[in-house]
Amino acid sequence: MIDSRAAVITAFNEPLEIQRIQLPELDGMAMLVRIDASTLCGTDVHRWEGGLSSDSVPYITGHEPCGFIEVMNAPRTDILGSPLKVGDRIVWSYVSCGHCYFCMVALQPCLCRGRASWGHNRSDRSPYLLGSVSEYMYVPVECQIVKVPENVSSATAAAASCAYRTVMHAFDRLGAIKAHETVLIQGSGPLGIFASALAREQGAKKVLLTGAPEGRLAMAWKMGVDDVLNIDLVDDASERVKWVKDHTEGRGADVVIQAATNGAIPEGLKMLRDGGRFVSVGVGGKAVVAVEGLPGEMTMYTVRSGEPRHWLQAINFLSSRADRYPFEEMISARYELEQVNEAMSAMSSFSVVKAAIYPHGVHSIPGH
Ligand SMILES: [Zn+2]
Ligand SMILES: [Zn+2]
């Protein structure tokens, strides 16, 4: 191994290039991981389209990795304190500074101004390999490591590294869902579909979901929702609100999980009962949302990203409920590294739920 082939964005909205990127120096407890699978996320598409002004090219795309420890020069433990070894299959957290107001006083490390995340870091500057659509990736010493159990595939674990752990974070902030409560989920992307299973397992009386297209709603049904509404078929927002009210004796949902675009927030608030809880998963900081009236005594949360424990919780949930929910079916398309542009287009057009790229080849995956 002398370098790492990786999918690099050299210009926004232009085809990604497969480049050979040099390997970083591994100082102290930093590690090199051989990427088994990387899933793509809406954020990767958004960044590729030039949606985030802070980005500067070239950089390796992707922030949802799962892989095997390839090089480890010093002893290191996982998030539970158990020793790691070369060959362990892992996912790993983002990094926050650990000594600022958000990290130490507010205990909200996702808001740390010194936070490091992947999939937008220049590939021509050390440590080069901080994007997941790459044969190898650099794991900084500050990351918390979570081992992936046998019954969770690498692609599903990769999806836990962003989408699913953010949903875990959202449920953490919501607190317990009571047995009499109805949960309404807006959105049938990976966030909304995963949230369906979690709401069910947390004991909601009823789980409702609004979203589209039909293929994604079919996944939601498999995650145990009680009813879905296809928003492509019901244009009128007031009809959609009525659908939720009809399911809740006219009150509205006890909990609304907004896992769709920011534009869904006003409608979601109308679907919430007075005094209910609303959580916006991954809402953008610059969102302009015009709201016409608010439910009385409601509580609203917004979450972004996740804390290291949410990576662990997501992986635990996927493993412990693997027999109950077809999580593996969420990975609806598999690509070779060279097909990265095809995978990006599929994500951009919503024609797949979750696209997975296998930098060492799809053929290396048992059963595929
Ligand atoms: Zn993501
Ligand atoms: Zn900090």
Please, are residues 32 and 70 in contact by the beta-carbon 8 Å criterion?
yes
End of a domain among 252, 276, 303?
303
Do 114 and 262 lie in one domain? The reply is no
Cα 138 to ligand 2 centroid, rounded to whole Å: 21
- Residue-wise pLDDT for 285-342, tens only, equals 666 788 888 999 999 999 989 999 999 999 999 999 999 999 999 998 999 999 999 9
Cα 162 to ligand 1 centroid, rounded to whole Å: 5
Do 36 and 145 lie in one domain? The reply is yes
Do 26 and 47 lie in one domain? The reply is yes
- Residue-wise pLDDT for 42-80, tens only, equals 889 989 998 777 889 999 999 999 999 999 999 999 999
Please, are residues 229 and 236 in contact by the beta-carbon 8 Å criterion?
no
According to the model, what pLDDT value does residue 364 have?
Answer: 58
Do 29 and 149 lie in one domain? The reply is yes
Do 128 and 181 lie in one domain? The reply is no
Domain encompassing residue 117? 3-164+306-364
Token pair for 334: 């598999």
According to the model, what pLDDT value does residue 363 have?
Answer: 67
- Residue-wise pLDDT for 202-238, tens only, equals 999 999 999 999 989 999 999 999 999 999 999 999 9
More confident residue, 365 or 275: 275
Do 239 and 177 lie in one domain? The reply is yes
CATH number at residue 111: 3.90.180.10
H/E stretch holding 59 reads strand 59-60
Do 319 and 342 lie in one domain? The reply is yes
Cα 348 to ligand 1 centroid, rounded to whole Å: 13
Do 48 and 150 lie in one domain? The reply is yes
Query: Which ligand has the nearest atom to the CA of 102?
Result: 2
Do 215 and 315 lie in one domain? The reply is no
Cα 281 to ligand 2 centroid, rounded to whole Å: 21
Do 171 and 293 lie in one domain? The reply is yes
Alpha-helical (H) ranges within the chain are 42-48, 154-159, 165-174, 190-201, 214-222, 237-247, 265-271, 308-320, 340-348
Query: Which phi-psi region, left, alpha or beta, contains residue 298 (left: φ > 0; alpha: ψ -120 to 50)?
Result: beta
According to the model, what pLDDT value does residue 367 have?
Answer: 46
Cα 51 to ligand 1 centroid, rounded to whole Å: 14
The rounded percent of the chain whose pLDDT value lies above 70 is 97
Do 123 and 189 lie in one domain? The reply is no
DSSP assignment, residue 101? I
Give the pTM.
0.94
CA–CA separation, 197 vs 202, rounded Å?
9
pLDDT at 366 exceeding the cut of 60: no
End of a domain among 303, 328, 346?
303
- At 188, is the pLDDT very low, low, confident or very high (cuts 50, 70, 90)? very high
User: How many domains is the chain partitioned into structurally?
Assistant: 2
According to the model, what pLDDT value does residue 368 have?
Answer: 45
- 109 cis-preceded (ω within 30 degrees of 0): no
Please, are residues 72 and 28 in contact by the beta-carbon 8 Å criterion?
no
End of a domain among 285, 303, 321?
303
